[in-house]
Amino acid sequence: MNEIILLKLGEVVLKGLNRRSFEDKLLSNIRRRLQHYGSFNVYSKQSTIYVEPQKGGCDLEGAYAACRQVFGIIAATRARFCPKDKDAIFHCAKHYLDAELRAAKTFKVETKRADKQFPMNSMEISQYVGGLLHEEYPHLKVDVHKPELCVHVEVREKAAYVHGPSQPGAGGLPIGMGGTAVSLLSGGIDSPVSSYMIAKRGVQLELVHFFSPPYTSQQALDKVKELAKELVPWCGRMTLHIVPFTEIQEAIRRDCPEEYFTLIMRRFMMRLAERVARRTGAKALVTGESLGQVASQTMDALAVSDAVCSLPVLRPVIGMDKQEIVLISRKIGTFDTSILPFEDCCTVFTPRHPRTHPVLEDVVGFESALDIEGLTQRAVDGIERVTINL
């Protein structure tokens, strides 16, 4: 069938002397992502990545969908290739896009001639192929501004390629080029979106979840594992670090003022996430906080939480409202899992009147009643690690 997948590079083409390292990482990520779909030859030429099936039985549909979720790709299309001959290009377009040509009312042919040795220029190829297609499908009218169907012809080094409109890719930068960060993953809507957005900047993720049995259930933990699995097609394979948090929350409830429960809990979470980061070589922490969304997400409260960290804290959704976050969660496929009615530890011992504008010195004073190092170390010693794959 001579069918192939063409992938267009996004921001990678703007890189300078280190562009090659970005392309190599992207190619490696694509090859790893396609292992489940058959044997493919994946290579890059002229700012385009070619994904060629090598054997029968390749799942081209599955591979195409997978490629569109790889960060670094801005557009993708399935195409058919043929010899670099004007009549071969016409026949390829006629047979490959026959159903689309019959269904459309208007069309145009758009050509890119990367091979400057080809005897016809881009305009001449478009006019020739478009004229023959118009004769073959007389119901079609030419519309060069807003056609229902755009027939794309690309004349490249090895062959000519014919395809319909491209579909958007994931954009961003290849996973692994932005270093590693630890993302705090709850069972809500915001933190999976935050993880997705920072991964889009090329960051490899380690996930941390805080588990508080018996106050949180096994169903709640299973929900978080499912969220992590739903992120894998975008973010790649990850390790989920499950931190036992019950003892810490009980100590806070017993020895600290109620209005500070959530804030002191968040400070412990940041301490523990940083411990995981130090162990895994991560260079930053990632949270799903949105400014002003809840009482613990005011500027004052965030500053008090960050005071226990020496690593940068990245908050990709900090300026987004809930509806914007929900739209992204639907797009990436985590929304339906996020709204399952299983509580996470953030809702355990929630204060009736949380302090929204805390003073750091006051919080440090209240924490002095706690064995911070002992509680932290016992939680670190009890961490369970789960590898999350497709």
Contact 150, 167 (CB under 8 A): no
**Span 311-325, mean pLDDT?**
96
The percentage of the chain sitting over the pLDDT mark of 90, rounded to a whole number, equals: 88
- Angle among Cα 139, 141, 145 to the nearest 5 degrees reads 155
CB neighbours of residue 133 within 10 Å: 21
**Span 94-99, mean pLDDT?**
96
Query: What is the C-alpha to C-alpha distance for residues 292 and 307, in angstroms, rounded to an integer?
Result: 19
Query: What is the C-alpha to C-alpha distance for residues 261 and 252, in angstroms, rounded to an integer?
Result: 6
50 pLDDT more than 70 = yes
25 pLDDT more than 80 = yes
At 293, the pLDDT band (50, 70, 90 cuts) reads: confident
Contact 283, 312 (CB under 8 A): yes
Kindly report the backbone phi and psi dihedral angles of residue 258, in degrees, each rounded to the nearest multiple of 5, phi listed first.
-55, -40
**Span 72-81, mean pLDDT?**
96
**pLDDT value, residue 307:** 97
46 pLDDT more than 90 = no
Query: What is the C-alpha to C-alpha distance for residues 7 and 319, in angstroms, rounded to an integer?
Result: 32
Distances in whole angstroms, Cα of residue 349 to Cα of each of 189, 249, 254, 268: 20, 8, 11, 15
What are the pLDDT digits (tens) for 101-129? 999 999 999 999 999 999 999 999 999 99
What are the pLDDT digits (tens) for 188-235? 999 999 999 999 999 999 999 999 999 999 999 999 999 999 999 999
**pLDDT value, residue 240:** 98
**pLDDT value, residue 292:** 86
Distances in whole angstroms, Cα of residue 183 to Cα of each of 270, 329, 362: 10, 16, 28
Helix (H, G, I), strand (E, B) or coil at 112: strand
Mean pLDDT of the chain: 94
At 38, the pLDDT band (50, 70, 90 cuts) reads: very high
Q: Under the phi-then-psi rule, with left for phi > 0, alpha for psi from -120 to 50, and beta for the rest, what region is 244? A: beta
Which 8-state DSSP code applies to residue 17?
Answer: T
**pLDDT value, residue 1:** 58
**pLDDT value, residue 14:** 87
At 44, the pLDDT band (50, 70, 90 cuts) reads: very high
- Closest of 169, 5, 165, 173 to residue 74, by C-alpha: 169
At 16, the pLDDT band (50, 70, 90 cuts) reads: confident
Look-up: residue for tokens 């500027």? Answer: 299
Query: What is the C-alpha to C-alpha distance for residues 280 and 315, in angstroms, rounded to an integer?
Result: 20
Classify residue 51 by burial, with Cβ atoms within 10 Å: 0-12, 13-18, 19+. buried
